[in-house]
Amino acid sequence: MATPLKAWAQRFAFVLLIGAAFGLMMLTKADTLVVERARVAVNDAVAPILDAVAEPVSTVNHVIQGARGVARLQQTNTNLRAEIERLSHWQQVAREVEAENASLRALLNFTPEPGKRFVAARVIGDQGSAFTRAVLVNAGSADGVAKGQAAVSGDGLVGRVAEVGHRSARILLITDINSRIPVVVGPRRDRAVLAGDNSLEGSLLYLASDTTVRVGDQVTTSGQGGVLPVGLSVGVVSAIDEKGVRVRSMVDWAHLEFLRIVDYEMPGLLAPLRDPGAAADSR
């Protein structure tokens, strides 16, 4: 049976640990770097386990989807044929525009875009909760991933690298409440900032009042700040109401499996200048 001393020790431990928990909350609010390091360490530690588990889970999902796909093969085929017809026209248009663009750039002596490098990574953890939208991927600083880089899927921008460990990285999705992405909207390329709010749609902040944004306008990254590449597809304007301009992403959030991390090599603009030798070694 518990002696009074033991009961007292229990009570003391309880109060102490509650205090510690509140302390951690203060720490999160005041100094995010320490918390970030801890998060990276834990993520790095569990990355191999999650990596091992993620594979069978996705295999099972593939089998189920494969079975569904077979059932609808005929229909899909017809749809795809129609799609090819439609897109080949667009391809023609794109080729013409590309050629025109190249010749105009040559005419203007336009500064070439910095090089891009891609790192493909598997999604090994889904950190979505009632409070955050983030995923873990199995590539880290060992693979050349660095904080701030863009993560894209085939459908457009997914998020950006928030924390990097040695072999894992945490991608803050564009739908997270803390996500802010500089974007341009519509044919007039109005500048704005896309802010997530943990729902499937984000809203545009700092949009100038005289702009004429309409539902269906394309939203792409503006490249302001020099961290994200220019022109990554982000989504389309889905609604304009008293809550503001809503943007829906084309990304299939339920089936994120592989992401490409875009290393947008723009040395010295934002990141502190690194020793080029060390940078070469780390790749």
Binding site for another protein (CB under 8 A): 1-2, 10, 13-14, 17-18, 20-25, 27-29, 35, 38-39, 42-43, 46, 49-50, 53-54, 57-58, 61, 123-136, 170, 177-178, 197-199, 253-257
CB of 236 to another protein, least distance (A): 20
Closer to another protein by CB, 46 or 279: give it: 46
Q: What is the 3-state secondary structure (H, E, C) of 89-141?
A: HHHHHHHHHHHHHHHHHHHHCCCCCCCEEEEEEEEEEECCCCCCCEEEECCCH
CB of 103 to another protein, least distance (A): 45
Closer to another protein by CB, 246 or 263: give it: 246
CB of 180 to another protein, least distance (A): 12
Query: Exposure of 126 by Cβ count < 10 A (0-12 exposed, 13-18 middle, 19+ buried)?
Result: middle
Closer to another protein by CB, 58 or 211: give it: 58
CA distances from 174 to 19, 47, 182, 250 (A): 34, 22, 11, 12
CB of 120 to another protein, least distance (A): 16
Q: Do 222 and 183 form a contact (C-beta atoms < 8 A)?
A: yes
- Rg over alpha carbons for the chain, rounded to the nearest Å, is 23
Closer to another protein by CB, 169 or 185: give it: 169
